[in-house]
Amino acid sequence: MYSKILILRFPKKIVHNPIVCSLVREYDLTFNILNATVFPRKEGILVLELYGTRKNFRQGVKFLKEQGVQVKNAEQEVKRKDDKCTHCGACTAVCPTGALSVQRPEMSVVFDQKKCSVCELCMPACPSRVIKVRPTNQAFFL
């Protein structure tokens, strides 16, 4: 099984089309939506992890581009300034993957980079603003 986190930008002229549904139906791909901002008649941005065979993945990405969707790898990671973290736990309440969790009995917040899906939900939840997203390298178009 092959998977990658992608950032999809839908121009306003196609934002109403059920394009992602076609990925499931026609290319036998599954997905997990990590973040989305889609408004009717405006540009939409969708961050998802796409799963399937490499062949189906490539065909699905080609289909997206043919539909006018901009496809970009999400080559970024979440970083936390450990020395500035107050370990309040607010970020753990919104983390969908369990990458941020409270370690007991110390009651300190632990960050597991391997579990992080870069959904960015932790950033606004952090009252200390010590969680940031940064590129791991230059994100590129597929």
Q: What average pLDDT values come out for the chain (142 residues) when binned by 10 residues?
A: 84 83 91 81 84 92 93 82 94 92 94 85 93 65 36
Distance, in Å, from the CA atom of 138 to the CA atom of 42, rounded to the nearest integer, reads 27
Burial of 43 (0-12, 13-18, 19+ CB in 10 A): middle
* Coarse DSSP helix, strand, coil percentages of the chain, rounded to the nearest 5 percent: 25, 35, 40
- What's the pLDDT at 103? 94
2-73 — its CATH code? 3.30.70.260
- What's the pLDDT at 136? 66
Type of residue numbered 125: A
Beta bridge partners of 49: 5, 32
Contacts of 112 (CB under 8 A, 6+ apart): 98, 99, 100, 101
- What's the pLDDT at 40? 67
Q: Tell me which fold the domain 77-135 belongs to.
A: Alpha-Beta Plaits (3.30.70)
Q: Is the fold of 2-73 the same as that of 77-135? A: yes
Domain parsing of the chain, residue ranges: 2-73, 77-135
